[in-house]
Amino acid sequence: MDQSKLIDQVLREVMRRLSLEGSAVPSGGPKVLVLGEPGCLASPWDEAFVPLFLEGGEPCLHGLEALVVPRLDQCQLVASSLGMWCDPVSRWLVEGLSMGIKAYVLREGLKWMDQLRPGSPLGNHYRECLDRLCAFGVRVVSSPAECFALPERAERVEEAPDGCVGAPFGEGVLDLRGVRLVSEREVKDRCFDGCREVRVDPKAIITPLCMDLLRIRGISVIRGCGG
């Protein structure tokens, strides 16, 4: 092997082991284990925290701020919802949850659930698995700001369902338009005291546990744009 290639390979291995063994957290953001390969996160995710990736070996979970899962497939979802694992992603997700580490799954990484027919037995099965995983402490998020209390970037005003404009609603209204599956965890984490109304898409699915929570809190559900 060429000497320069050998040196480069050794340096890469040393840096990988240092990152997995919990080296000091560089300035600029929290230390997060990304359950995926380098390059699996696009901006602004890669700017929000100091990422460590699964690149073989045994990652050190101590001192981590959170786990981020870019994509969770069917097998990983079912296994982790049962507290089991079938691959490194589900394994370290379960390990992290058992240690009380915050865990976030990107909503983009669950887009395969959009193809599930509402009310079908298999669709209900996967949605129940997701609800169970959320009950363990996992949050489904769309942006880094939902994880680390970072300021949201300015977003374009886009056309919302029923032809209304997706502008912010007034105080006391939680906007969950764009969320296909509204779970109890989604409402608990984002609907605080004073919340009186939740806006969802016309075809959004609201889990039974979430509906019970909304009834207990006296929160109305408006599908589409509402009045």
Residues 23, 119 within the same domain? yes
User: Which ranges of the chain would DSSP assign to H, the alpha helix?
Assistant: 3-20, 45-48, 74-81, 88-98, 121-135, 145-148, 184-190, 208-217
- What is the mean predicted confidence (pLDDT) over 85-110? 91
Classify residue 110: in a domain, yes or no.
yes
Residues 47, 86 within the same domain? yes
Domain end, chosen from 150, 166, 201, is at 150
Residues 40, 145 within the same domain? yes
Whole-number CA gyration radius for the chain: 20
Residues 122, 71 within the same domain? yes
- C-alpha to C-alpha distance for 127 and 155, rounded to whole angstroms: 29
State pLDDT tens for residues 117-164. 877 888 889 988 988 898 888 888 877 777 765 433 333 223 334 434
Q: Which residues of 38-70 are buried (b: 16+ CB within 10 A; e: fewer)?
A: eebbeeebeebbebbbbeeeebeeeebbbbbbb
Identify the domain containing residue 205 by its residue range.
158-227
pTM: 0.56
Domain end, chosen from 150, 182, 197, is at 150
Structure token pair of residue 12: 């890469």
Residues 130, 223 within the same domain? no
Instruction: Calculate the average pLDDT of the chain.
Output: 75
Domain end, chosen from 119, 150, 181, is at 150
Classify residue 2: in a domain, yes or no.
no
